Structure 1
Amino acid sequence: MEFKIAKETLELEAKAVKDQIKHLDANFGKAVRLIKDCKGRVIVMGLGKSGLIGRKISATMSSIGIPSIFVHPSESLHGDLGSLMAGDVVIMLSYSGETEEIKKVLPVLKNMKIKVIVMTGKTKANVWQNSDCIIDCSVEKEACPYNMAPTSSTTAVLAMGDALALTVSNLKGFKREHLALLHPLGSIGKRLTMHVSDIMRKGKQNPVVFSDATVEDALLVMTGTRVGATSVVDKKGKITGFFTDGDLRRRLQKDEKILKKKITEVMTKNPRTVTPDMMAVDAARVLKDYNIDNIPVVDKNNKPLGILDQGDLLSQGIAE
């Protein structure tokens, strides 16, 4: 029974979000321009569930280069309107348009000459006559079996808030390096700031053998560094091949005398490589795309500086 309800809930909320596409009209475009041209901050207001959604929209905007704060409508009527300043734009969230505090704060905002964008499910409500732009976020029905508790509607407003924020952020030229600046910690920060050089195994932990080595020699080096692979270099120290423990296992099934063979006979010639200045997340994508666990890191002269290991990427929370 509970799975049936869960499935219906997800289907209704997914439909509510998808239906918002038809609301991407001139009003949405006007809202985008108001926020993009805003000289101050985006002030988000809402009560109850709308307030909770508003806090998330405000937080999203701040995290992608759109300065924003949340102001509670009730508190705003008791002094917090003082936090607003010329050049700010307000996004007002109220699905019904019947919230008493919002009815009272809108005329004040108009007197302050603050531009107001409304996100609502009732675009014809009289209260919105003091607004500058109305975004339709209406849904066919709530996921609540009684069609009362805010469920589909709050999900739809949240999605429209994301659409609004990301559209403006893109128009403002927000780039990955800006995102890294605003997210210095956590998995996002690592994905955006860590380079291959920060994670690769180097020095004594970087297994390298010369091209005249045997497979047995290579295996001893790999075992000593506890890395399941080794780079193979020529007399000038330039990489000519790469050999992994996976290669060894596959060869052992066909040739029991493989350990005595030259490494050049069994290595992967002209292997794929990455550079130390490459973003770690981009290197992780290379490993995933080619279904490999290790990859040599080389300098501009094609000399191996280290090895990047899939396990090390995962331990840093970087994976594709």
Structure 2
Amino acid sequence: MKSKKSILEVGVNTLQLEAEAILNLIPNINADFHKAVLAILESAGRVIVTGVGKSAIIAQKIVATFNSTGTPAIFMHAGDAVHGDLGMIQKNDIIICISKSGNTPEIKVLAPYLKQAGNLLIGMVGVMESDLAKQADLVLNTYVAKEACPNNLAPTTSTTAQLAMGDALAVCLLHSRAFNEDDFAKFHPGGSLGKKLYLKVGELALKNQKPSILPEASIKDVIIEISQNRLGAVVVIEHKSILGIITDGDIRRMLEKHSNLLDLKARDIMSVNPKQIDKDVLATTALALIREKNITQLLITEQDAYYGLVHVHDLLQEGII
């Protein structure tokens, strides 16, 4: 069995090889790369990304990144293309064909068909003398000196280089389109990522009860109100005005400070000037305030009127944290 040291050394060496391979791509961000970005920006069609084997998996990732950042893209498996999938290519589409060697049988067969309708063919390839490089209108050179695999066989460094080149394309396109957070939110409405971009704190408050109590309420009533609503707090309201807030922590501090609880009222133990935020503010901003003030509940308002409460657990459940 390999020693722990040797395993760690192999892991570090793998990352070093792949990091070096990516840095070696920098000179290949050249005139053809610039033309590829401009062509995609000016195209009225989509980007069709194709490949076979591990390159096909990278192609799918690049398609996903393009689509999520404002560049319409479709994946086409190189092996299926000559069995009918060529029909997905439309007149104005641009094709990116990914291959390490550029000489696999599928790519050799496919390349001429990709050009027959006059579509721009961009080859992402690691061998500049390959069939794909010669057929392509533009070439993105993803040459790597060796794979991280000790047998120099399993695609590791080469697929990392392809992925990095795809990311470079996508980010250049994103930057050129001035694609911003609002655009990003439109394409990512689901999951924690989308919620961070569009979820407003008022939407969370609406899911909760709206605990409130009068300033002259007894301590017993305060505790009952806090317990029933399970938000760890109650807001003290009089004539629709917010006077303060009472939290679990205020109850604990009350027990430490006072021996006679019968005469105490809500106003005697409430915290005045509670931290509050407008209902239309993003949940991420609310989270930042909660962290800054080291609190667990945040009072939500609408035009300075009491709207609801949000607990840090609400943000946790929504995946904001």
Q: SS where residue 277 of structure 2 aligns? A: coil
Answering whether residue 61 of structure 2 is matched by residue 56 of structure 1, we say yes
Answering whether residue 309 of structure 2 is matched by residue 307 of structure 1, we say yes
**Equivalence map 1:91-102=2 (5 Å):** 91-102=96-107
**Equivalence map 1:78-97=2 (5 Å):** 78-97=83-102
Cα 1:202–1:130 shift into 2, 3 Å: closer
Answering whether residue 303 of structure 2 is matched by residue 292 of structure 1, we say no
Cα 1:209–1:53 shift into 2, 3 Å: same
Cα 1:273–1:125 shift into 2, 3 Å: same
Q: What percent of counterpart residues are identical?
A: 37
Answering whether residue 17 of structure 2 is matched by residue 12 of structure 1, we say yes
Q: Which runs of 5+ in 2 are unaligned?
A: none
Q: Output the amino acid matched with 1:297.
A: I
2:227 to 223, 226, 233: 223
Cα 1:86–1:221 shift into 2, 3 Å: same
Q: Is the 8 A contact 1:97 1:127 kept in 2?
A: yes
Answering whether residue 51 of structure 2 is matched by residue 46 of structure 1, we say yes
Q: SS where residue 61 of structure 2 aligns? A: helix
Q: Is the 8 A contact 1:215 1:258 kept in 2?
A: no
Question: How many Å apart are 1:43 and its aligned residue?
Answer: 0.3
Partners of 1:108 and 1:135 lie apart in 2 by 20
Partners of 2:98 and 2:291 lie apart in 1 by 42
**Equivalence map 1:171-250=2 (5 Å):** 171-200=176-205, 205-212=209-216, 217-233=221-237, 235-249=238-252
What TM-score do you get using the length of structure 1 for normalisation? 0.84
**Cα deviation digits, residues 264-286 of structure 1 (max 9, x gap):** 56544333322222233443343
Q: Which deviates more, 193-202 or 40-49?
A: 193-202
Q: Is the 8 A contact 2:125 2:132 kept in 1?
A: no
Q: Output the amino acid matched with 2:306.
A: P
The count of residues paired between Structure 1 and Structure 2 equals 315
Q: SS where residue 91 of structure 2 aligns? A: coil
Q: Is the 8 A contact 1:50 1:94 kept in 2?
A: yes
Q: Is the 8 A contact 2:195 2:320 kept in 1?
A: no
Q: Which deviates more, 108-117 or 239-248?
A: 239-248
Partners of 1:290 and 1:90 lie apart in 2 by 52
Q: Output the amino acid matched with 1:118.
A: G
Partners of 1:267 and 1:106 lie apart in 2 by 74
Name the counterpart of 1:66. 71
Question: How many Å apart are 1:42 and its aligned residue?
Answer: 0.4
Question: How many Å apart are 1:47 and its aligned residue?
Answer: 1.0
1:154 to 143, 146, 159: 159
Q: Output the amino acid matched with 1:294.
A: Q
Name the counterpart of 1:37. 42
1:166 to 162, 165, 171: 171
Name the counterpart of 1:277. 280
Question: How many Å apart are 1:66 and its aligned residue?
Answer: 1.7
Question: How many Å apart are 1:231 and its aligned residue?
Answer: 2.5
Name the counterpart of 1:319. 320
CA RMSD after TM alignment = 3.0
Question: How many Å apart are 1:298 and its aligned residue?
Answer: 0.4
Partners of 1:257 and 1:22 lie apart in 2 by 76
Partners of 2:55 and 2:118 lie apart in 1 by 24
Partners of 1:106 and 1:258 lie apart in 2 by 87
Cα 1:246–1:14 shift into 2, 3 Å: farther
Partners of 2:78 and 2:155 lie apart in 1 by 19
Q: Is the 8 A contact 2:123 2:132 kept in 1?
A: no
Partners of 1:227 and 1:245 lie apart in 2 by 9
**Equivalence map 1:251-270=2 (5 Å):** 252=255, 255-257=257-259, 267-270=270-273
Q: SS where residue 206 of structure 1 aligns? A: coil
